[in-house]
Amino acid sequence: QQKVQQSPESLIVPEGGMASLNCTSSDRNVDYFWWYRQHSGKSPKMLMSIFSNGEKEEGRFTVHLNKASLHTSLHIRDSQPSDSALYLCAASGAGNYKYVFGAGTRLKVIA
Amino acid sequence: NSKVIQTPRYLVKGQGQKAKMRCIPEKGHPVVFWYQQNKNNEFKFLINFQNQEVLQQIDMTEKRFSAECPSNSPCSLEIQSSEAGDSALYLCASSPQGANSDYTFGSGTRLLVI
């Protein structure tokens, strides 16, 4: 059964620091990855998606993907207390309608 | 505010009772998903629809869970006989196309079975 593993489980970074989160799929058929952010008591909101090898940057957020190792990472620079949330990685394979989610990384940014 | 509308926000049921929740997908999104998020933040896929047709569902859904997405009405997820283990956040999401597209999530229905 396809699994998506995220690490670390939790992360504390100082305000202004860099947060790095990791995600790996065990399914060789996975082609697409998403990163979602879920603040406490709220619904997940999509941050970024990536389908091609390499890097994608949007503002303070950068996502990397290595399709050979099925590994993606999310980097948040200049972290803010408002970035404190659960970060979820999701993956799906070509033609598959549903995502498989990881269990998330809980990020806390301390002032 | 989410463009996917879920009601009710909270639902409290006794064991054995029916629990029903509803979802209005984002306008123009024909694909609807239901996920269960437990207290450990783990997501479990339940069922998805394209327009009114079921695309995929898991065994759990087939036994005690029923879901539908009728034309011109909210989608719904119903648990026929609630169990304590069903206590979770039920998230509805919609997407503009089928495979490999972005989801928009609703705010969820938090079910507590006592």
Q: Point out which residues pair with B11 in neighbouring strands.
A: B111
C-alpha–C-alpha distance, residues B104 and B84, integer Å: 28
A chain contacts of residue B24, beta-carbon cutoff 8 Å: none
Alpha-carbon gap: A101 to the closest alpha carbon of chain B (Å):
6
The shortest CB-CB distance from B33 to any of A31, A36, A98 is to A98
- pLDDT by 10-residue block (mean), chain A, 111 residues: 89 98 93 94 92 94 96 98 97 82 96 91
C-alpha–C-alpha distance, residues A27 and A30, integer Å: 6
Alpha-carbon gap: A77 to the closest alpha carbon of chain B (Å):
24
Q: Point out which residues pair with A36 in neighbouring strands.
A: A46, A88
B38 touches chain A (CB under 8 A): no
Convert the pLDDT of each residue in A25-55 to its tens digit: 998 888 899 999 999 988 999 999 999 999 9
Convert the pLDDT of each residue in B69-94 to its tens digit: 998 899 999 999 999 999 999 999 99
Query: Mutation test of the interface with chain B: which of A1, A43, A50, A106, choosing the one with the most B Cβ atoms within 10 A?
Result: A43
